[in-house]
Amino acid sequence: MVAILITAGPTREYLDDVRFLSNASSGRMGCALAEAALGAGHRATLVLGPVEVAPPSGAVVISVVSALEMQAAAERAFDAHDVLIAAAAVADWRPAERLAGKPPRQAGRTTIELVPNPDVVAGLAARKGGRVVLGFALESVSAGFPAAVDRGRRKLVAKHLDAVVVNLYGASGCGAAECGICHADGRDEVLPRTDKRRAADRMVAAAVALWQERNAR
């Protein structure tokens, strides 16, 4: 049995107590990954942003809201796991200052100062040791798979990942997945467009195989 940590869903970066910056991630892929892990007899922990989809029964769920909360939760859980699958859509930016309450609307333009959020998966991959880290790269539909795979491979190298799932953003928020898996050894595996649960089975199997290969040496 392999212990698999999965980050999933969006983060919300609050401007005040009501308004926030976020994205369209539904968390479906992350929950499908947890279901696939459990179905294969592994242990699954979900660090889950704010979503409406219900996580699978049997998964340990750690609910978070912001990118900083997701980073802290994933860092605490990482050491007790063998594999990290980072499927979360972490917001790239957060407001430099969160205002109290709900400030009234003002006429005219306004400016919001943003600061970068941490790169959660890169930070964890930097101290992975014998663990396996599989990241996600959400790329443009219009670019097509060859260009998307090329950009995904650059992320794989820059973040010291063992593999990266290149996911076309047309599948974001829906039940289908259109993606490929790029391995650090140069292998590329393009998955046929299918439902996220079946795609998740292949992703979990690929990550577990990498862990088994590494730890059999």
Active site residues: 23
Q: Which residues contact 76 (CB under 8 A, 6 or more apart)?
A: none
Contact 161, 133 (CB under 8 A): yes
Classified as helix, coil or strand, 165 is strand
In angstroms, rounded to a whole number, what is the distance separating the alpha carbons of residues 165 and 10? 17
- Amino acid symbol at 217: R
Instruction: Please tell me the distance from the alpha carbon of residue 136 to that of residue 179, in angstroms, as a whole number.
Output: 10
Q: Is 89 exposed, middle or buried (0-12, 13-18, 19+ CB in 10 A)?
A: buried
d(CA 71, CA 29): 19
In total, the chain counts a number of residues equal to: 217
Residue with tokens 């595996």: 189
